[in-house]
Structure 1
Amino acid sequence: MLKPKQYVVELFAAMALYGLLLVGANMVERATDPHGPVKLLLNLVPMIGVLVAAWVILRHLWRMDELQRRIQFHAISLSFIGTALITFGWGFAEGGGAPHLRAFAVWPIMGALWGLGVAVASRRYR
């Protein structure tokens, strides 16, 4: 059964975990100045929170009814295609002098397009 309030609480907790791990890992890195594999592992620690958030989102999608899943499918499709077009086009633009697009910019693009896709698909099924 779909419980939106439970989803919001779980997602907020996952993002709080991510934030704590990010701050903690940064503090440890500054205090210890690690090198090599230790530095790499320390920088990957916040991914634990991201993986928990991904699990929460997937569980929420699995609990949706057919109409909600259809709306999400349309939104995710728009997000996937839009992100691919923007990042691919930006890659060509870099050859023409545009600044480098860091990988950290991809998720905000994808998330914004997903939100836009939900709004568009929701209106379509009213």
Structure 2
Amino acid sequence: MSPKRFLMEFAVVMVVYILCVVVSSSFVRSMPDGAARIALALLPVIPMIAMAVSIIRRLNAMDEMGRKIQLDALAVAFVCTALTTFSYGFLETAGFPRLSAFMVWPIMGGVWCVATIIGTRRYE
């Protein structure tokens, strides 16, 4: 998969994801408890699965250097996210406000992007 095609596919999936989040968050609280409410709450997971498949396909299409850069970036993202969330967990015991688990992916994704940019520039 070419980088251009990946970016287009990723952008489309992100738009669908955002729409699913808006629909889900707009209506889930007004629904009665039950299977339909659970399904609506999980609606954004469907495009997230498509996003994961797209990312894995892109990784599989990369050459060895691209894979090394991504592995390094993912390792940095994993470690930074683990340290950040673990540290904040201790701060919560000191009275800091509780944060949602929704914060994990933005931290990991952001660090992954920055580490990928740095890794790519390092090998240019």
TM-score greater than 0.5 by the shorter chain: yes
**Which of 7, 31, 34 is the aligned partner of 2:32?**
34
Aligned residue for 1:100, secondary structure, equals coil
In structure 1, how many angstroms separate the alpha carbons of the residues matched to 2:118 and 2:93?
33
Instruction: Give distance in 1, aligned partners of 2:27 and 2:94.
Output: 40
Is 1:22 the counterpart of 2:21? The answer is yes
Q: Residue 9 of structure 1 corresponds to which residue in structure 2?
A: 8
Q: Number of aligned residue pairs: give it.
A: 124
In structure 2, C-alpha distance between the alignment counterparts of 1:16 and 1:123, rounded to whole Å: 29
Question: CA separation of 1:111/1:35 partners in 2, compared to 1, >3 Å: closer, same or farther?
Answer: same
Once residues 83 and 50 of structure 1 are traced to their aligned partners in structure 2, the CA distance between those partners, rounded to angstroms, is: 19
The answer for unaligned runs of 5 or more in structure 1 is: none
Equivalents in 1 of 2:116, 2:107: separation in Å?
14
Q: How does 1:72-91 map to 2 (within 5 A)?
A: 72-91=70-89
Q: Which of the residues 21, 24, 41 maps onto 1:43?
A: 41
Cα displacement (A) at 1:95: 0.4
Paired letter, 1:118: T
**Residue 97 (structure 1) shift:** 1.1
1:38-92, Cα deviation, whole Å (9 max, x unpaired): 2122100111011111111111111001111100111000000000000011101
| Offset at residue 25 of structure 1 (A) | 2.9
Which stretch of the first structure deviates more once superposed, 48-57 or 19-28? 19-28
RMSD of aligned Cα (Å): 1.6
In 2, the alpha carbon distance for the partners of 1:37 and 1:102 equals 23
Q: CA deviation at 1:100?
A: 0.8
Q: Once the 2 structures are TM-superposed, how far is the Cα of residue 24 of structure 1 from its aligned partner?
A: 2.8
TM-score (norm 1): 0.89
The runs of 5 or more residues in structure 2 that have no matched partner are: none
Moved more, 7-16 or 34-43: 34-43
